[in-house]
Amino acid sequence: MLGEADFTIRGVTVDDYGVPSNLMGMHHEDFFSLLGRIVASSASLENHVLIVYQSLVRAAQNEYTNVPVGELIKRCRKELERLDSRPSDGQLVEVFLTKAEAMVERRNNYVHNLWPAQPDGRLFGWRPPREKGAREAITVEATLLEMRGDLASLLELLDVSYWHRLLSVVSSTNG
């Protein structure tokens, strides 16, 4: 009868959190630290987009909470077209939406890709194609420096001063 030892792969180690090295390979710890911060901060960004939309349409806090962030961004843009606001105010909101949309896309790349460690240390993510009939995997390459840049861009959108300015604009629109 075979025992557990018969199924053990020799040379496989685990990191400090118990993740085996044959699952993703050995990444620099900064990769996981940055990935976690990007994911956690993105949840705040998605909430900010929700609040912008709720403010634009004068909705309660419990309304539109099940609408995906991409759809909320589209709806925000439609509301901006409809509303009578100063052009500079509309531009501020549009810049926020454009940057938020880009960050959501980057976040999705980080979250939905598989990131097998590469022998040369580069970061390479891939996932199966989503479109029917597509044959090539979706691939992304990144560096730790780019991940730091993405985190910095995300944190700029979440900056309290910037957020208060944006909130003052969307709450004062004529709906």
pLDDT (average), residues 45-54? 97
89-123 tens-digit pLDDT: 888 999 999 999 999 999 999 999 999 988 888 89
> Does residue 16 belong to any structural domain of this protein?
no
Residue range(s) defining the domain that contains residue 82: 29-129+137-171
Q: Which pTM does this prediction carry?
A: 0.85
Token pair for residue 153? 């861009």
> Does residue 3 belong to any structural domain of this protein?
no
> What beta strand segments (E) does 16-162 contain?
123-127, 138-142
Crossing angle of helices 144-158 and 160-171, in 10° steps, is 50
Q: Is 105 exposed, middle or buried (0-12, 13-18, 19+ CB in 10 A)?
A: exposed
> Does residue 51 belong to any structural domain of this protein?
yes
Q: What is the share, in percent, of the chain residues with pLDDT greater than 90?
A: 62
pLDDT, residue 33, reads 94
> Does residue 23 belong to any structural domain of this protein?
no
> Does residue 101 belong to any structural domain of this protein?
yes
- The total number of structural domains that make up the chain: 1
